Every structure is written in structure tokens, then in C-alpha cells.
Structure 1
Amino acid sequence: MPHCIIEFSDTLAPRLSPAKLVQTVYEGALKSGLFQAKDIKTRALAYDHFLTGAAPADFIHVTIRILSGRTDEQKQLLSSTVLKGLTDCNLAGISLTVEVVDIHSCSYAKFIA
């Protein structure tokens, strides 16, 4: 845990590769100090069709799903650390957002084959 899900406008690919984006978010989650490297799962989805307000504009939105029980301060640290990594990519004219969402442990199931 956590699951880091990156959604981004596909028009960003020439300026920031999806692999670099995944690595940046992974490193941000790791730098928070809240998780071990082996437990961080990161993936990215590019969107061909989107509106950000009245017109298309580049965006990156990261949803970080974690098991419930972390404090608000820990969640703030996590979101700000990941956001700092994204801002360090020096992308202009882009909306960057990060949210941390609790997973209720009673409804979470996991199986590794």
C-alpha cells in the first residue's frame, strides 16, 4: 500500500514521458517516509478526451489510495511530497492536483497468485 493512480492529459507525453511520471510519483510517495519501497504501487492513465474548465488544458491528477488509519498530518505530508516532485518537473501551463483517499480495510481484499 499505497496505490498511486496518475491520470494525465495525453498531450503531455512529448514533454514528460509516462515512465518518468510514474517514477516521479513513486519517488514522492517513498520520500514521504510513510511506506516501504516494495509496497508502493504506481500506474498511469492517459486521457485522449478531456475538458479542464471550458477548454482542454494539460493536467496531472494523482489519487493515492491508502488503508485508513493515517492522520491528517500524514496525509498532508504525502500529498505535498508527491506534489513537490511533480512541480520539480518544471512543466508550464498545467494543472497539478493530488488527493489522498482512505480505503476501508474491512472492504479491501487482496490475493496474489
Structure 2
Amino acid sequence: MPHLTVEYSANLAPFPERKALGELNEALCASPEVQTEADLKTRFVCQSSFAVGTESGPRGFVHAQLRLLAGRTPEAKQDLAERVATVLRRRTPKPEGMLVQLSVEIVDMDRPSYIKERL
């Protein structure tokens, strides 16, 4: 914990995943909400099968989901969401004429049922 998954539409490739991974982890680890940097797990998933709305035309998306153990304040969640959004605004490709939507979601994980071990 925390787990950050960033999904993006394949029409945004090549997405600068390597650069974004480093910047996302730096931004999140700078937050007091992330206690141990090695606990942050970040990954990118390129979605080749997708639709954005119903109208034709070039459209793409980036959606980030940050999963955290429950108990953060609304202000802390907003700060974390903005940290993620700031990096993705900068790193997301913006092809000419394409509508690209960005969203960031913070999800609380249930503490009693979460298991984490170092193997």
C-alpha cells in the first residue's frame, strides 16, 4: 500500500511510461501520507479495447486509481489526487484534434481484510 494503477487508451501510445512512473512515485513519496517509499506500487496498463462516449472522432483517456488503506482525511486524499493529476497533465500525450480525458480516483481499502507481507 499504496497501489497506483494508471490506465490509458492505446491511441495515446507511445505513452512516456518510464518518465511518468518516476515522477509519479517522487510526487507521491513527497507526501506525508506515504510512510515508506518501498510500499508504493505503481503500474501502467494500456487499454487496446475501449470507447469514449458514443460519437465518432478521436478520443482517448487516462484514468488513475490510487488505492490506500482507509483513514485518510478528505484533504489528504485531495492532495494525493492532485499530485497524481499534476504529473499526468504534464506527461500525457495530447494528439492534435483528439479529446483526451483525465481522471484520478482515490479508493479506500478495508484495513481489516488487507494483507501485506515482505517475502
TM normalised by structure 1 equals: 0.85
**Percent identity between the two aligned chains:** 35
Q: Deviations over 1:21-51 (max 9, x none)?
A: 3333323322333213222110111110101
* 1:20 aligned residue: 19
SS at match of 2:25: helix
Aligned length: 112
- Residue 101 of structure 1 pairs with residue 103 of structure 2: no
Mapped partners of 2:29, 2:4: distance in 1: 11
Given the two structures, how large is their TM-score scaled by the length of structure 2?
Answer: 0.82
| Gap runs ≥5 in structure 1 | none
Q: CA deviation at 1:18?
A: 2.5
RMSD: 1.8
Query: Per the alignment, in what secondary structure is the counterpart of residue 108 of structure 1?
Result: coil
Q: Aligned partners of 2:87 and 2:32: how far apart in 1?
A: 14
CA distance in 1, matches of 2:78, 2:110: 19
| Gap regions ≥5 residues in structure 2 | none
Q: State the match for 2:77 in structure 1.
A: 75
TM-aligned CA deviation for residue 90 of structure 1: 6.0
Letter matched to residue 41 of structure 1 = K
Distance in 2, matches of 1:28 and 1:63, equals 15
- Give the corresponding residue for 2:39: 39
Greater shift, 71-80 or 23-32, is seen at 23-32
Residue 94 of structure 1 deviates from its aligned partner by: 1.6
Q: Quick one: distance in 2 between partners of 1:21 and 1:11?
A: 17
Question: How many angstroms apart in 2 are the aligned matches of 1:32 and 1:91?
Answer: 26
Paired residue secondary structure (1:75): helix
